[in-house]
Amino acid sequence: MFGTIILVSGLATIITINLLTITTQFEAFEEEYKLNEERSGEDIRIDNVEGNPTLGLLLLNVTNIGEQGIQIRDFPYIDVIIFYKKDGANQTAWIPYDPNGVSTPYWRVYKVFFKGREGDLMNPLKLTNPTHGIWDPEETIELEIVLSGSVQEFYYVVIATPSGSIAYGVPG
């Protein structure tokens, strides 16, 4: 009798552990599905990349062509990566977000456009402290990217949103 109780207790423990494992796996799959669904609503495109290597300056337009906006509070999590040539060597740099453009290198939003006109009508981006707003679908932001000193040549820029949407641009 005692052996049967131990056997039943052991089976109950195994079943409980298996159910908890299955529940945890399901929750992980559900979270991944939600993240993929969120990513599918976010997309960007880079246009009009202009560079001044002597000043270490790039200006480019990035349009939100996705279905959802990106909060300005998430801008520090946007990756901006520059590939360039300096002192005869190819280099890569991750550029930090600095809305005030105080320390180099940095990137910041210089202007906001909606359908080709300067200005932001819906959820306006306030670019000075305290910052707030949303980079809405169909809005274009002009980014100013400043490196520490001059470079010989800009090759290209890569921008990745916090949810993983990626766009590439080449100076024209």
Q: In the chain, where are the structural domains located?
A: 1-40, 44-169
pTM, 2 dp = 0.76
Q: What is the pLDDT, as a whole number, of residue 122?
A: 83
Task: Tell me whether the omega of the peptide bond preceding residue 130 falls within 30 degrees of 0, making it cis.
Answer: yes
Each residue's pLDDT, cut to its tens digit, for the chain (172 residues) gives 666 666 556 555 666 665 555 556 546 655 664 565 455 578 999 999 999 999 999 999 999 999 999 999 999 999 999 999 999 999 999 999 999 988 899 999 999 999 888 988 788 888 777 888 999 999 999 999 999 999 999 999 999 999 899 999 999 8
Separation of alpha carbons 31 and 36, rounded Å: 9
Strands 89-95 and 134-135: unpaired
Q: Which is it for the CA torsion 29, 30, 35, 40, positive or negative?
A: positive
Q: What is the CATH number of domain 44-169?
A: 2.60.40
Separation of alpha carbons 84 and 97, rounded Å: 19
Q: What is the pLDDT, as a whole number, of residue 124?
A: 85
Q: What is the pLDDT, as a whole number, of residue 78?
A: 96
Tokens standing for residue 90: 């190819």
Q: Amino acid letter at 43?
A: D
Separation of alpha carbons 38 and 31, rounded Å: 11
Q: What is the pLDDT, as a whole number, of residue 42?
A: 85
Strand partners, 51: 58
Q: What is the pLDDT, as a whole number, of residue 30?
A: 56
Helix, strand or coil for residue 134? strand
Separation of alpha carbons 46 and 59, rounded Å: 11
34 to 18, 25, 29, 38, 55: CA distances (angstroms): 24, 14, 9, 6, 43
